Structures are given as structure tokens and as C-alpha cells.
Chain A
Amino acid sequence: MLFLGALAVLPGCQRYWLCDEQEPARTEQLAERLSDTGLYSDLASDTLSPGVSPYRPQFALWSDGADKRRWVSLPAGSVIDTSDMDNWLFPQGTKLWKEFSVTGRRVETRLLYKAGSTDDTWIALSYVWNEAETEAVAAPWGVVDARGDHDVPAAGECMACHAGRKGRVLGFSALQLAEPADAPPSADAPAALSLHELIAEQRLSNVPSEPLSVPGNEVERAALGYLHANCSHCHNQDRPQSDNARCFDPKKPYDFTLSVSALDSPQSTPTYRTAVGSAFKPGDPEGSKAIDLVSDRGMFKQMPPLATEHVDALAVANLRAWVQALP
């Protein structure tokens, strides 16, 4: 540990965990209060603004068990450039929100806003709810242990994950919206925007040529979906060029993307092509480095490395079952 500590402070050495601060001038373009960001027409009654739609990805990022709600707002009449079906490019003015609740109480709502026409103009900021949940206020430097042990990321940390994808948006994609999430619609989570609705509303420049379905049996689909939602924003072979906001550049050539063009069979997915046999040893969960990493939390040994302090036991159990069954 001492040696690693020394490495950590030596200038010039490769420190993938070192991120840049989001420039204050960018953060200051966003409202100070959540109620002024355009999400709600009436925050007190939880009434969304016109043009704001809830959505739910079929595979969710693990956030230590926090409950999440998500919304998107596309500028009126705008179209998403979907010429690359794995990397949607959003119109200027697009906003996405994600709300986190712990033990039934709202903790934070994160906002992603595309301020310009290019993908390096995305701005990220988290808003932290007050005790009475009557308002949430911008927290550009994040919060340690909000409502227990939930950590709210600093604005500069958001692009550690989001800048690993060309379009910066992770959970709102063709694959993620192709099939409904497991949870049925409810008062808290009304019917969500789907790929089908986006096509019907002519919001996509290109449409998938055939229905998108994750291949494999239930265990395989869950494993591939978990890796896509939790790992592929860093571990993919199509990362954009660094724009100084990005960190956590993996050196291993793994790719955990569920690519729209590679859904014929589990074996055709990038996960099987790049990680099965190396990070995942068929029939040997104990000897699989990737399972070891997702099963642990700590300063130098955990995956994903950010925004989680608790192991996703369900996902680990499923990954183990998947690896055990691999031929």
C-alpha cells in the first residue's frame, strides 16, 4: 500500500483515477436550484414540465441499491442523430435527469445538459434534496455520506463515466429502450418512453433495421446486460478521444458493450469476443478476475471503481452462474 501511495503522488506517473475538475464557468450555466432546471412545472406536486418524459433502461447501473427515476427532455421538434445506433448524438438543449432515493427518501437528482452542438459541451451537475424534500440545490463538489452512506458525485466526476461514450448519455439508447424494464408502471414510475415511441414520434434520424433483443437465456442476458450497464462506459473499444474531462481509461482491451450490430448470439457480443477466456474463465468463477473485482470494494480493488461502496450481490451471483455454465 505504501508503494502504491508513493506512486499516487509522484508527478507524471499514470494515474487513471485522477479526474479533471469541471470548469466552474460550465457549472455556472446551470440553475442553482432543481426547480429552475425545467424538470418540474410544479415541484411540490411532483408535476413534470411539458416535454419531459420518464424513461427506464432495461439494464440499470448499480447504485448501491438506491431507487432511481429518470427523465429526458428533447428540444421541441428536434431529432436524435442515430446514424450510429450504439452512440446516439443528441440535439443541443437536451436534458436528462436521474433521481436517487434511499430508503424511500430523495437524496439527489443529477442533471446532464447539452449546452452546445458538439458532444464536449455536455455539462453535469447534481442537486441535493433538503430534509423536507421541498427543493434540491446544486452541489458542484458533491456530498459525502448524504442520507446515510450515499455519496453524491462532484460535477467533475460525472464525465469519468459519461465521457467514455461518444454521445455522453449512457442509459438512454436504442438497446436500453428496446425492451421495457422489469418494473411495471406505477404512480411513482409511470409508463416510460420507449424506443417504439421515439420511432413513432419521428425523434430518430435512423431506425433499427430489426427488433433489438439481447441474445441468450435468462442468465446470459442478465450477465451481458449487467456488464453493458455497469462496465461498458469505460470498457469499450469505441471511446471518444480524450477531451481532458475523461479519466478511468482502461488499458485492458475488454469491451462489454451490447452492440446493436452484434446481437445474433451471446457468442457474437463483444463481451464474449474480448473477455470470455481472459477476464471470465469458463466454468471457473473463482478464477475469474472480473468476478473477483466486482465482488469486492476497496481503494485498490473494486469494479466498478466509482460511485459504489456496496457489492451488487444479485449481479455477482448471476455472473458466477453465467461463468459456471460457460462451455
Chain B
Amino acid sequence: MTPDLQSLTPPGADTLIIAEHVNFGIAGAPFDVGTLSEAKGQALSFVSDAWYQLSAETWVGLRLPLIAASVRQPAGSYLDESAWGNPELRFAKRFTLAQQPRLTLRLSVGGGIGLPVAEHDRSLMPNRALAIANALQGFAEPELFTPGELPFTPFAQLDCGSGPFRALALLKLPALFRVSDADLPATQSDPHAFGLMPVLVLEARYSFTRHFGVALASQLTIDALPPSEHIRSVPVAQFTLRGSPYFEFGERGALFIDLQAPVAGALGGSTVALGLRGAVQF
């Protein structure tokens, strides 16, 4: 997840928030093609994110994912590949449910519409690079990294804060509507017309000072309706933990340093990813 609206203190009117989420690491992901049943390698993913405040509690945003990966070939060598994911147009509205001197409870709801333009090729190299990037984030961004899909992603986020404490809960429901076979070979794969992978994130933050704090998050991705029939038998859920020291620069910006690792699920226990999430408010 990018810092999103919650990374910053409540913005003023006519605010533009620019965020960048950089993630790198080593990952192996199930890949639903008979001859290449696993996508493995190192990847560096960039998700550029912008929110523009339309009114006091309403935003419109855009996300653009780009991947650079070294994809492991079957015998053990690597090939470099870069690929664009699905760009996404997002809307969000925030409601303040309760506000007291020491507790603020807000609900943000919104949705994203992805453009189904993620790269793919007969070599399946872009497809594999995107799968690795998705695995790096615990499969929590299928709307960005699944080629051949038109994603609709409603989300809701609840956050409350009291003094130095802050707690967040995010639920999103990426619904993936297949619009092309994404070059998946017909004899080796079975793409589904519809996929659904709910993601739940619970995060707790504690600010030690005005500028420095620590966040701990747990993330659960449910492989409810996979976008393609799995070739391998994989667990239905991916559970990931993330620890993030973070720095806040007044009301103007925030930087999170993420270290995340899978606890259980298809990734197994050997994958780690290091990420940076930065956001600047104008």
C-alpha cells in the first residue's frame, strides 16, 4: 500500500499529494502456465501515485506502476525485463465519524478503475516480471500487476488516532474482469473471466516524536477467485507482516521504510522485500 491519504495530517484545500512506492526484493510466485509454473527473480517496482483534492474531503487520484525485473529462466540464468502494469484512476471520499479532543475516527471509501494495458508478450517475460512484483507485495496489488484484466477496486479505510497512537484498517476488493488472454497459451493455461482477491490490512503506528515513528502492519490477501486456474496447488491466503520506521515532515511529507516478509502462503518463507514509500503534499 502507498501511504495514501493517511500518511499525512489532514490536508488543506486544493492539495496535491504525490507519492512514490519503491519496492525491491527477491520473490517466487505461482505462475499459471503449465510449462512455466513459477515466476521467480528479483524485481524493482515503482508505483507512482498522485491524489488531487477536489473538495474538503474528496480526492481524485492516479497510480502508475512500472517494473524492472531480472527473471529467472528454467535452468537458472536470468533475463532482464521491464514492464508497465495497469494504470489506475481512483476516487476517494472521507467521512469524519467522530471527533473528540483526543480521538478522531475517519472512514475513507473509494474505488479504482484500472486500464487493462499491463504489458504482456508471447515470451511471457513481462507477465512473469509483473507476477514477481505482485509477489513482492504479498499479492496485495493484483489490480496493478495482472495483465489482460480490467480491474475495479473498491476500498474502505478506517483510521483512528489518539495522541501518538494511530490505527488503520484497510479493506479492498480488487475485482478483475478479463479483457484479453494476455498472451497466455491456450493449451497451457486457463484464464478465468473474473477474479476477486480481497485484501485486508491492519496497521498500528506510534509516533515517538513529531517527526519519527514506527508502524507495524499485517496483511492478508485472499485468493478467493483467482484470475487464472492455478497450475500448482497453492494456499488460498497469503499472510504478510511489515515493519516500517517512518519519518514525517510536518504536514508536507512522509517517508516510510518498509521491510516485509511473508508469514504463510504461496510465497513460502524465503521471500523478503524492502520498500520505500514517500509522499509529498503541495
In the complex, chain B residues 12-26 whose Cβ is within 8 Å of any chain A Cβ: 24-26
Q: Flag A5-18 by CB within 8 Å of B: 1 or 0 each.
A: 11011010001011
Report if B233 contacts A (CB, 8 A): no
Report if A151 contacts B (CB, 8 A): yes
| B38 surroundings in chain A (CB, below 8 A) | 144-145
Report if A248 contacts B (CB, 8 A): yes
| A141 surroundings in chain B (CB, below 8 A) | 35-36, 73-74, 123-124
Complex CA–CA separation, A5 to B41 (angstroms): 9
By beta carbon, the residue of chain B nearest A139 is: B35
In the complex, are the beta carbons of B79 and A19 less than 8 A apart? yes
In the complex, are the beta carbons of A21 and B79 less than 8 A apart? yes
Known pairs A141-B35, A144-B36; A9 contacts B43 (CB<8 A) = yes
In the complex, are the beta carbons of B76 and A18 less than 8 A apart? no
Known pairs A19-B78, A141-B124, A142-B75; A5 contacts B36 (CB<8 A) = no
| B77 surroundings in chain A (CB, below 8 A) | 17-19, 154, 156-157, 160, 247-248, 306
In the complex, chain A residues 156-199 whose Cβ is within 8 Å of any chain B Cβ: 156-157, 160
In the complex, are the beta carbons of A18 and B74 less than 8 A apart? no
- Distance of B192 from chain A, by nearest CB (Å): 22
Choice from B68, B80, B124 contacting A18 with Cβ under 8 Å = B80
Q: Flag B25-59 by CB within 8 Å of A: 1 or 0 each.
A: 11000000001111000111000000000000000
- Distance of B252 from chain A, by nearest CB (Å): 28
In the complex, are the beta carbons of B36 and A15 less than 8 A apart? no
| B80 surroundings in chain A (CB, below 8 A) | 18
In the complex, are the beta carbons of B79 and A156 less than 8 A apart? yes
- Distance of A244 from chain B, by nearest CB (Å): 13
Choice from A144, A152, A307 contacting B37 with Cβ under 8 Å = A144
By beta carbon, the residue of chain B nearest A161 is: B75
In the complex, chain A residues 276-319 whose Cβ is within 8 Å of any chain B Cβ: 299, 305-307
Report if A270 contacts B (CB, 8 A): no
- Distance of B29 from chain A, by nearest CB (Å): 12
- Distance of B126 from chain A, by nearest CB (Å): 13
| B238 surroundings in chain A (CB, below 8 A) | none
Report if B184 contacts A (CB, 8 A): no
By beta carbon, the residue of chain A nearest B36 is: A144
By beta carbon, the residue of chain B nearest A24 is: B123
Complex CA–CA separation, A249 to B43 (angstroms): 23
By beta carbon, the residue of chain B nearest A20 is: B79
Complex CA–CA separation, A20 to B35 (angstroms): 20
| A128 surroundings in chain B (CB, below 8 A) | 35
In the complex, are the beta carbons of B24 and A142 less than 8 A apart? no
| B36 surroundings in chain A (CB, below 8 A) | 141-144
Complex CA–CA separation, A156 to B81 (angstroms): 14
Given A1-B26, A8-B26, A9-B43, 18 other A-B contacts at CB below 8 A? A2-B25, A5-B24, A6-B274, A17-B76, A17-B77, A18-B77, A18-B78, A19-B73, A19-B78, A20-B79, A21-B123, A128-B35, A141-B124, A142-B36, A145-B37, A145-B38, A156-B79, A157-B75
A-B CB proximity, top 8 nearest: A142-B74, A153-B75, A8-B42, A19-B77, A151-B74, A307-B75, A9-B44, A143-B35
Residues of B within 8 A of A (CB): 24-26, 35-38, 42-44, 68-70, 73-80, 123-124, 272, 274
